[in-house]
Amino acid sequence: MASSEHTVSNASRLTGWYKSSYSGGGQSDCLELARSSCARIPIRDSKTPTGPALTFSPHGWTSFVAALKEGDLTG
């Protein structure tokens, strides 16, 4: 998987954060995604909304999710 992630130091500056409906409605231990007008997809840890967020290109995000599904995050 090619490295295509970048970071935003304070994710609270971004708006439109949401969690998957599969997260069970809990407030912790979830990844949140933000709707963004830029060409990158930001994700953050729901436990630290003012912490950093990773941003992925659309292709990088698709590759990351595929690697998670396959259990292949060896680099």
What is the tens place of the pLDDT at every residue in 23-34? Answer: 766 656 788 989
**Token pair belonging to 57:** 């290109």
Give the bridge partners for 38, in sequence order: none
CA distance 44 to 17: 9
| pTM, full prediction | 0.70
What is the average pLDDT score of the chain? Answer: 81
CA distance 26 to 55: 23
The amino acid at residue 5 is E
Mean pLDDT, range 37-45, rounded to an integer: 85
